[in-house]
Amino acid sequence: MSETVLYGYWRSSATYRTRIALNLKGVSYRTVGVHLLKDEQTMPEHLARHPSGRVPILEIDGHRIGQSMAMIDYLDETRPDPPLLPRDPCLRARVRDLKDQIVADIHPLNNTSALARLRSQFGADDAAIASWYGHWIVRGFDVLEQMLPSTGDYCLGDAVTQADIVLVPQVANARRYPQIDLTQFPNIVRIDAALKKLKAFHDAAPEQQPEAKRQ
């Protein structure tokens, strides 16, 4: 079987969520750093891996995948234990609803390429970037907080789902901006704390990655 390789930036939330999924599925993999702040994603070597010029890129089973949720779906379909979506169609839709509040609504507005465009096209400074970032986090978390259960350790039910996998990296991003008061989101904070105690989540955290330890 060919080696599994994850090309990504250690602090990228999309890379982070993919590491969590790989760990949950027990897949051994090698990481190759692509430093977004050094524009390594625009280099010909990386563009040859995938024309999107984004991270992460996953090489697995002889295939190359270029979107984190496509990677997570592939892992769930080829390695169904433990499942990352419930069997019941209504519950599956619920998980996808929760997941997309982050993947579709929050993350695209706050990723590094969007923030760089705000700087280059509109002259946004650090304070303006932080204000933009905080606005979309708070707006998205307001929605999530109301959708999440008031008790328990998971976004839905009693097992990890795709919603949990995307939540923890997004909370980590929010914690980088001290003006965001996370105490107003007790359900999110409770679930995040519980999930980070799981080995798959702990080992995937940015601060546990070799690149972080070389900073």
In tens digits, what is the pLDDT along the chain, a chain of 215 residues? 589 999 999 999 999 999 999 999 999 999 999 999 898 999 999 999 999 999 999 999 999 999 999 999 999 999 999 999 999 999 999 999 999 999 999 999 999 999 999 999 999 999 999 999 999 999 999 999 999 999 999 999 999 999 999 999 999 999 999 999 999 999 999 999 999 999 999 999 999 998 887 76
pLDDT at 212: 84
CA–CA separation, 187 vs 114, rounded Å? Answer: 28
Distance, in Å, from the CA atom of 35 to the CA atom of 7, rounded to the nearest integer, reads 10
Q: Which two tokens stand for residue 100?
A: 């997309």
Residue 19 class from Cβ within 10 Å (0-12 exposed, 13-18 middle, 19+ buried)? Answer: buried
Q: What integer pLDDT is reported at residue 211 of this predicted model?
A: 85
Q: Which domains does the chain have, with CATH numbers?
A: 5-82 (3.40.30.10), 89-201 (1.20.1050.10)
Closest CA to 190 of 162, 158, 160, 168: 168
How many CA atoms, within 13 angstroms, populate the side-chain half-sphere of residue 72? 26
The sheet that has 63-65: what strands, in order across it? 30-33, 5-8, 57-60, 63-65
pLDDT of residue 215: 61
| pLDDT value at residue 2 | 86
pLDDT value, residue 213: 72
Chain-centre distance for alpha carbon 111? 11
- For the chain, the DSSP string reads -PPPEEEE-TT-HHHHHHHHHHHHTT---EEEE--GGGTGGGSHHHHTT-TT--S-EEEETTEEE-SHHHHHHHHHHHS-SS-SS-SSHHHHHHHHHHHHIIIIIIHHHHSHHHHHHHHHHH---HHHHHHHHHHHHHHHHHHHHHHS-SSSSSSSTTS--HHHHHHHHHHHHHHT-TTS-GGG-HHHHHHHHHHTTSHHHHHHSGGGSHHHHT-
Q: Residue 121 has which token pair?
A: 């096209």
| Contacts of residue 3, Cβ cutoff 8 Å, sequence gap at least 6 | 29, 30, 59
